[in-house]
Structure 1
Amino acid sequence: MGNLSVALSKDGIATLTMDLDGKVNIMNEEFMMRMPEALDRLEAEVAAIRGVIITSAKGSFLAGGDLALMSRARPGMEAEIFGHFERLKGYLRRLEKLGRPVVALINGTALGGGYELCLACHHRIALDRDDAQIGLPEVDFGILPAAGGVIRLTHLLGFDKALPWLLQGRRTSLRQALAEGLVDELASTREDAEKRARAWILHNPESVQPFDKAGRTFGAHRLSTENRTSLQFAAGRVRSLAGRGNRAATRIADVAAQSLYLPWEPISRIETRGFVELLMSDEAQAKIAAFFAPKRALG
């Protein structure tokens, strides 16, 4: 079996390396089994850890969520699917709330759940490769990002800039991802990326996510003028999408808007419930089945 290994260097930097079974890393059952083991070790040794680097031993970072698992979803499995993705989100929350800076060293493609893992880190450094892509293509499958991606991208880019990425399922090169804020740095070599990651960790020991900052207040009556404008825009966008029958895009826009003024716990549950509802739809199941059809035809 593959592994999610943790190595702690003498300078206190822990490296979590993904090397799961198969040609690429996927957020499958093996990931779900190995991730808590890795987190247990990080938490047990946190006093000796100054920061964490997450990377992959494969040619890509993390290909995405387990579409094969999603294709098996049937009516009556709602509670099971909800619980599965709440556990996954719990693992990512443990990572970003470890109390130490966490850097994603993105050595290749990171799509869907793969990029959601990057978003759960405090900093993102990508190895400059022409063949790698980043993005959240879930809307193309009639679903929404189910590991906190809607919430985190909205807080990272701001509502207006995040919405096109979420609603259009855009995939982009690493250089374009840098230009638009999806990653923070590009590195020319693996060694350069590791050097940059270590330097960032040592200079940012108190890193937290925007929605976890001390003193942050919630509630629509405390929204900034900018966020009030974004919410008004969102309401119109949601009505427009609903009128065109795009259920996934409508739900994504709604979750993104609510993430501006709700704390993590309630908006996270809203995101997961939206995902489950969409996944159970005939539209989503047909799109997922169409994705697997060419592979099945090839035997």
Structure 2
Amino acid sequence: MDDNTLTLTVDRDGVALIELFAGHFTAPLAVALDTAVEQVLTDPAIVGAVITGAAPDRFLLGARIDELLAGADAGLDAPTIAALVAPVNRTLRRLETGGKPVAAAIGGDAQGAGFELCLACHHRVLADDEAVQVGLPEVRAGLIPGGGGTQRLPRLIGIERALPLLAEGRTVNPHAAFLLGLVEALRPRDDVVATARRWVLSQGPTAQPWDTKGYALPGGAGALAPHASASFGLGLARVRRDTADREPAPLAVLAAVYEGTQLPMDRALALEAKFFGRLVADPAARDRMRAHNDNPEIR
């Protein structure tokens, strides 16, 4: 498989290596990734997969702001925009519920949709290089994550840790990522793929924590969670103070996290997509997107 978006090769032990050549998460990459995931899950000769970036200093960045703006400027309404992210969410859900171990070998920057792909993997190995940044900075571009970031990140590390990253659009270096629980291992860049491959061969967990029986979101969710007042009450006050209610994205993050973390994952992803569609169609959010578009990467 080679269409300038990714390649898939299988070694003699049955581990598939998916190398991402696209710098940004684009529609062609989404189609190619869906095909690759299906091949991994349906080929009995494949025991699992490692996903990595082909460039030594980059795993994958997010969508291009100019492409999102083009769709909104063409008159697409919020439900139509929300529907556009549904296939990506189906692919990522298929990857994490397909029953085969998948590890992300993150040799360089993984941001926006690129890091959302990492979150859908069962295991994450990150290059121990202080120049590398990972995270979900979409809010700085007037958006929220549209590929499950507002739902997987809180379920992985808890709302208290996840919400500041999401609402402020902060990216972090490898040591902070490890301490926060965003990744499971740090290794030298030239060892991340081999480390991830060893984990796959060890037949690590093939289900996400949130898809296992008895899972409880770390720290709790909803109005009765011990952190609810600080996370959402004070969080809302801080957002309104800092934005004067002129930027809808941080408010959408708070709402998506608060509501979504009380729902089953598939319904939560649909809720996130709804908020995403509303933002792209919102004139105030698009003004922020245009202001950010002097650098089209979601960074």
TM-score (norm 1): 0.86
* Match of residue 20 from structure 2: 18
**What does 1:143-162 correspond to in 2, within 5 Å?**
143-162=143-162
Q: Deviations over 1:246-269 (max 9, x none)?
A: 421122122212333210121111
| Counterpart residue type for residue 57 of structure 1 | A
Q: CA deviation at 1:108?
A: 0.6
Q: Is 1:118 equivalent to 2:118 in the alignment?
A: yes
Distance 1:182 1:211 in 2: 15
Kindly indicate whether structure 1 or structure 2 has the higher relative contact order, using CA contacts under 8 Å at least 6 residues apart.
2
Distance 2:171 2:102 in 1: 24
Q: Structure 1's 178 and 206: CA in aligned 2 closer, same or farther, altered over 3 A?
A: closer
Q: Deviations over 1:103-143 (max 9, x none)?
A: 10001111111111111111110122233211111111121
**Which of 3, 6, 15 is the equivalent residue of 2:5?**
3
- Stretches of structure 1 that go unaligned for 5 or more consecutive residues are none
Q: Structure 1's 70 and 225: CA in aligned 2 closer, same or farther, altered over 3 A?
A: closer
Distance 1:205 1:185 in 2: 14
Distance 2:285 2:112 in 1: 15
Distance 2:194 2:227 in 1: 38
Distance 2:224 2:63 in 1: 31
* Match of residue 250 from structure 2: 249
**What does 1:257-268 correspond to in 2, within 5 Å?**
257-268=258-269
* Match of residue 51 from structure 1: 48
| Counterpart residue type for residue 4 of structure 1 | L
Q: Is 1:203 equivalent to 2:205 in the alignment?
A: no
Q: CA deviation at 1:272?
A: 0.5
Distance 2:145 2:77 in 1: 19
* Match of residue 288 from structure 2: 287
**What does 1:1-299 correspond to in 2, within 5 Å?**
1-20=3-22, 25-45=23-43, 47-59=44-56, 60-72=58-70, 73-74=72-73, 75-190=75-190, 192-216=191-215, 228-237=225-234, 239-240=236-237, 241=239, 244-245=244-245, 246-293=247-294
Q: Is the 8 A contact 1:227 1:260 kept in 2?
A: no
Q: Structure 1's 56 and 76: CA in aligned 2 closer, same or farther, altered over 3 A?
A: closer
Q: Deviations over 1:183-217 (max 9, x none)?
A: 22111142x22232122223344331122113558
Distance 2:186 2:166 in 1: 23
Number of residues of Structure 1 aligned to a counterpart in Structure 2: 285
Q: Is the 8 A contact 2:139 2:166 kept in 1?
A: yes
Partner-residue secondary structure (3-state), 1:70: helix
- Stretches of structure 2 that go unaligned for 5 or more consecutive residues are none
Distance 1:173 1:76 in 2: 36
Q: Structure 1's 209 and 274: CA in aligned 2 closer, same or farther, altered over 3 A?
A: same
Distance 2:267 2:78 in 1: 18
TM-score (norm 2): 0.86
Q: CA deviation at 1:235?
A: 4.1
Stretch of structure 1 that moved more, 116-125 or 76-85: 76-85
Q: CA deviation at 1:85?
A: 0.6
Q: Structure 1's 12 and 109: CA in aligned 2 closer, same or farther, altered over 3 A?
A: same
Q: Deviations over 1:248-296 (max 9, x none)?
A: 112212221233321012111111100111111222212222233478x
